A and B are shown apart, each in its own frame.
Chain A
Amino acid sequence: MVDPMRFEPGQTRARRRRVRGVLQALRPGRFYLYLTPTFAFLAVFAYYPPLLAFYRSFYDWDGVRIEKWAGIGNYVNMFHDEVLLRSVWNLAQLTVFAVAVSVVFPLLTAELICSLRNRRAQFWHRVLLVVPMVVPIMVQLLLWKFIYDPNVGLLNALLRLVRIPSQAWLHEPKLALYSMMFMAFPFVGAINVLIFLAGLNNIGQPVFDAAKIDGASVIQRFFRIDVPLVKGQIKLIVILTIIGTLNGYGTQLILTDGGPGYSTMVPALRMYQQAFRFNHLGYACAIGMALFAAIFGLTFINMKLMRTDYE
């Protein structure tokens, strides 16, 4: 008869060895286990939503009960949606303006900072430019709402000083869209300036010195050396600005709700309103798809048009 007390250690050892063998075989598999939390989050909130948007863009859908196949009906409707078409034109104006000013002004500012001889001054200008980034976007929006206020706003107070009659700005259909464009004034967003500064610093003093010795004027240097060498940065900012403008509608939503009339309506806001005010979720998804296609296309074109060879 075998004494169980003496038998047990060996048995456990064998079992342990077997368990270890199984674990060994699973070892490479553990990496998938490690990544599970990340992919669980992404699956629910990042992969599924765009797919669902694509799928539901072919439906009459209110998110609750109505769920009817509509084919390309939603997409066709977009071309008959006067408000949407108008909003595309508004968006085009906003985008062109935003791209122009967010390249030109930050680049000039970066040149200015870069050319200062005093390092301390360079540092402080950079810090001060970042200050607005610390103020919550909502506060900035409400502040601009006040600046444009027809009765007590800062802008009209300034105009009164030079005897120009007060304007209604955001409440005036002809001015509202332009007022919105100028909300970025003086257009020197910290991020863009910092990106350009990094680019200019990369060029390096020897190149600037060489240009100086060859007798290049400041203007010549700017167009012949600086601009070509920060082309990568320009491309990046153009893309970021386009994406930001097509994606964004917080300003419109908070300040004008697309009005007065539809003078500041943009497609993304139209999408928002269709979804959350009129329960046309399927149609909203179709607008979302169109915006996605537009962003994708514009980014692609930009990449192709502005080739940078040295990347």
Chain B
Amino acid sequence: MSRRRDNSLEMVKHVLMAIVIALVIYPYAMLIILSFKNNNQFYSRPWVITFPLHFGNYGAALEALVRYVGNSLVVTSATCFGVVLLSAFSAYVFARFEFRGKQFLFYAIISLMMIPGVLGLVPRFVIVKRLGLLNTYWALILPYIAAGQVMGIFLLRTFFESIPKDLFDAAKIDGAGDFRSFSSVAVPLCKPTMATVAIINVQFAWNDLIWPLVVISDDKLKPLTIGLLSFQSQFATYSMTRWGPLFAGYVVASIPLVVLFMIASRAFVEGLTTGALKA
């Protein structure tokens, strides 16, 4: 009896969960359905799959978006590379060596986590402008690297400290210098954590919205986030909106992160949670 009650309770839970998931997923399913429609289908039967599917929408969207996707790829990969390299090395120095003022310097970095992004926005714009970087990739990459390092150093230092000192001593006896023991001992061991740091920064650089809006006005250099706005105004004008290609564009914009997620889902989920927990 109780067994059966347990089972029906379990069913209720599954149904509840299915509803939650459906609500979460539905907008994106709708997005994909809508992306295959022409305007006739969109206005007559918007919420169900209609045939024929218009794959041409994707061609049109891709053509309009490819440049923005390229820009985002450049900015994101440069950011990622810079952050991982710099923060890994600095974290290694903090974890491995003793020197005067070490704690102070470390806390000087960590305390930056308490400064909200909104405070630095205006002066950062002025600095970038004075450096003559407006409308260049650097205007995005350099501040992103600076911002990403803080969390990166924090996460990686904790990890490096957990590596047994013997390993480094062994490397030293074998004649490895500071750099060699970094590249041959530390880096290979902390690849998973470095992947987490990388993912946090990919998420950040790929999604950032306001900073590009401030420093990039040249359409040729716009990253995807604000490129989508130009794209939007191209396909949705006052006289007529071409809904299919518009939604196809939204799907296209999501594909790179989806691919990354499929390749590295573990590091991805880890990045999401550690990113939030340690922030």
- Are A and B co-members of a single complex? yes
- List residues of chain A with CB under 8 Å of any chain B CB: 28, 30-32, 34-35, 37-39, 41-42, 44-50, 52-53, 56, 63, 109, 112-113, 115-118, 121, 125-139, 142-144, 147, 152, 154, 157, 185-186, 188, 190-191, 194-195, 198, 236, 240, 243, 246-247, 249-250, 253-254, 268, 271-272, 275-276, 281, 284-285, 288-289, 291-292, 295-296, 299
Docked complex Cα distance between A134 and B272 (Å): 11
Interface of B is mostly: helix
> How close is B26's CB to chain A, nearest CB, in angstroms?
9
> How close is B38's CB to chain A, nearest CB, in angstroms?
14
**A residues near B84, Cβ cutoff 8 Å:** none
> How close is B89's CB to chain A, nearest CB, in angstroms?
7
Docked complex Cα distance between A246 and B118 (Å): 9
Q: Are B118 and A186 in contact (CB under 8 A)?
A: no
Known contacts A45-B142, A134-B254, A136-B254; A295 and B116 CB within 8 A of each other? yes
Known contacts A63-B129, A139-B228; A186 and B16 CB within 8 A of each other? no
Docked complex Cα distance between A198 and B276 (Å): 13
Q: Which of B56-64, B162-170, B186-194, B203-211 contacts the other chain?
A: B203-211
Q: Are B250 and A116 in contact (CB under 8 A)?
A: no
**B residues near A292, Cβ cutoff 8 Å:** 115-116, 118-119
Q: Are A143 and B20 in contact (CB under 8 A)?
A: no
Q: Are A143 and B21 in contact (CB under 8 A)?
A: no
**B residues near A185, Cβ cutoff 8 Å:** 23
Some 30 contacts from A to B, beta carbons below 8 A apart, are A31-B102, A35-B93, A38-B86, A41-B142, A45-B143, A46-B112, A49-B123, A52-B127, A53-B119, A56-B123, A63-B122, A116-B17, A128-B21, A132-B28, A133-B203, A135-B28, A138-B225, A139-B250, A139-B253, A143-B31, A152-B42, A152-B43, A191-B272, A247-B116, A249-B118, A268-B118, A284-B122, A288-B120, A292-B118, A295-B116
